Each structure stands twice: as structure tokens, then as C-alpha cells.
């Protein structure tokens, strides 16, 4: 299957390399016509205001909404989570399709960026090894709507990963690690079966 990585700004190359390392055909997407050929999309980390503005300028917002409506898997990491959320507490261009309220820069500024291990049953499948999560000026999910499944929380209950049908969001950056379990989960579990 061919997966697109939105390559407007941010850490798109790391996702492309991770996918290619899994023998997945991955392409960088900068223009709407490139979306036609992909069966899934990753919106990477970066600056959500930058990504949203460039996506709007080049007509990518509606085609991504259509992809979501068609049931194709779409995953947002960090800035990508913001771009997919319906509510981020401020006005900025968004795809805005997932029933979550997201708080931006929720942990503070860069000096508060952190890494930690998380237990995420959905991707561990009984594997005892936790997932090493890197949070960079990260957002978190303040509240989820009906039909949203919480996948990962910090010890204090803060929601940092969730799924709604074919949509996946993570506050942290699996693409900055060598652990491909989230990418596998995205490829295997979010594809809507015929």
C-alpha cells in the first residue's frame, strides 16, 4: 500500500524513512493531486500554524477531509494532532475532523519538553516493553467526544494518544524513535476492512 506523509513543514522525512524501513511505499505530499494516489496519510510534527497555513494556501484541507470521510487511515503526530482536532481553543486553519479538544503547548515551553516510557496496550499486544515517547512542546487531549478511544495516558491521567475510527492522534513522536510499533498499528489496525 502507498502511504503519503504531508511534507509542508516539520519532521516528515523521519516518517517516510520509518515507513520505507517497513517496506511500505511512502511518498511526500505537498500538493492535492499527490493525495489521489495514497491509501493513507500521516500529518507529521512541526508547527501547526505553519502546516495549516501552507495546507490552506495550496488547497489541501478539503481533499484531506474527503480522505477521512472515505475511511482512509489518517494519523497526526504532535502538530498533526492539532491539525486533525475539531477544537484547539484558538483560531487557526485546521482539517478539524476528530472529536477531541486539544490544548496546544500544553506542558509548557521547550525547557518542559520531556521523554518518558508509556504502557500502551493497543500497540503492545502483550509485549511487556513499554513505548518510549518523546514530547516536544507537545499538545495533549483535554476531552474526547463519543466514539473516541483513548489509547495512552500519562500517570496523572493526561490523554496523549487516541483513535476514532480511521483517525489516530499522538502527542508524542514515534518517528523520532527506532520503535515501529505505532507505525505498524497505524498500517494494520486503521485500515477499514471491506
Partner 1 sequence: MEKKTGTWAVKVGLAQMLKGGVIMDVTNAEQAKIAEDAGACAVMALERVPADIRKDGGVARMSDPQIILDIMDAVTIPVMAKARIGHFVEAQLLEALGVDYVDESEVLTPADEENHIDKNQFNVPFVCGCRNLGEALRRISEGAAMIRTKGEAGTGDVVEAVRHARSVLGEIRRLQNMRPEELYHTAKELQAPYELVREVAETGKLPVVNFAAGGIATPADAALMMQLGVEGVFVGSGIFKSSDPAKRAKAIVMATTHFNDPKILADVSRGLGEPMSGIAVRTMAEAEQLAVRGW
List strand residue ranges (DSSP E) for 62-186, in order.
74-77, 85-87, 98-103, 114-118, 131-135, 140-144, 149-153, 159-164, 167-170
Q: Does 171 interact with partner 1 (rule: CB under 8 A)?
A: no
Indicate which single residue of 3, 4, 5, 10 sits in contact with partner 1 (rule: CB under 8 A): 10
Considering only residues 80 through 119, tell me which ones interact with partner 1, judged by CB under 8 A.
90, 104-105, 108-118
Least separation in angstroms between residue 54's CB and partner 1 is: 5
**DSSP of 19-42, one letter per residue?**
HHHTT-EEEEE-SGGGGTT-SEEE
Indicate which single residue of 4, 5, 12, 102 sits in contact with partner 1 (rule: CB under 8 A): 12
Inter-residue contact 99 to 86 (CB < 8 Å):
yes
Report the catalytic residues.
78, 173, 175
- 25-32: Cβ within 8 A, 24+ apart: 25/1, 26/2, 27/2, 27/3, 28/4, 29/4, 29/5, 29/60, 30/58, 31/58, 31/60, 32/58, 32/59, 32/60, 32/63
Least separation in angstroms between residue 86's CB and partner 1 is: 18
Q: Between 8 and 74, whose beta carbon lies closer to partner 1?
A: 8
Contact characters 142-161, partner 1, x per CB under 8 A: -------------x------
Contact characters 34-73, partner 1, x per CB under 8 A: -----------xxx-xx--xx--x----------------
Block residue for cell numbers 485500515: 191
Q: Total binding residues for partner 1 by CB under 8 A? A: 41
Residue numbers at the binding site for partner 1 (CB under 8 A)? 7-14, 30, 45-47, 49-50, 53-54, 57, 78-79, 90, 104-105, 108-118, 130, 134-137, 155, 173, 176
Amino acid at each position: 500500500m502507498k502511504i503519503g506523509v504531508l511534507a509542508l513543514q516539520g519532521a516528515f522525512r523521519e516518517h517516510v524513512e520509518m515507513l520505507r524501513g517497513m517496506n511500505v511505499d511512502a511518498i511526500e505530499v505537498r500538493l492535492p493531486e499527490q493525495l489521489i494516489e495514497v491509501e493513507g496519510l500521516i500529518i507529521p510534527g512541526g508547527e501547526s500554524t505553519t502546516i495549516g497555513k501552507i495546507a490552506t494556501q495550496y488547497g489541501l484541507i478539503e481533499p484531506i477531509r474527503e480522505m477521512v470521510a472515505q475511511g482512509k487511515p489518517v494519523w497526526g503526530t504532535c502538530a498533526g494532532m492539532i491539525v486533525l482536532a475539531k477544537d484547539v481553543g484558538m483560531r487557526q486553519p485546521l482539517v478539524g475532523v476528530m472529536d477531541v479538544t486539544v490544548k496546544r503547548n500544553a506542558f509548557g515551553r521547550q525547557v518542559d519538553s520531556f521523554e518518558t516510557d508509556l504502557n500502551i496496550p493497543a500497540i503492545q499486544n502483550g509485549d511487556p516493553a513499554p513505548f518510549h515517547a518523546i514530547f516536544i512542546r507537545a499538545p495533549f487531549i483535554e476531552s474526547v467526544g463519543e466514539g473516541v478511544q483513548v489509547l495512552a495516558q500519562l500517570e496523572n491521567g493526561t490523554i496523549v494518544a487516541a483513535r476514532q475510527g480511521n483517525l489516530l492522534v499522538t502527542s508524542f513522536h514515534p518517528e523520532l524513535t527506532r520503535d515501529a510499533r505505532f507505525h505498524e498499528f497505524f498500517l494494520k489496525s486503521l485500515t477499514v476492512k471491506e
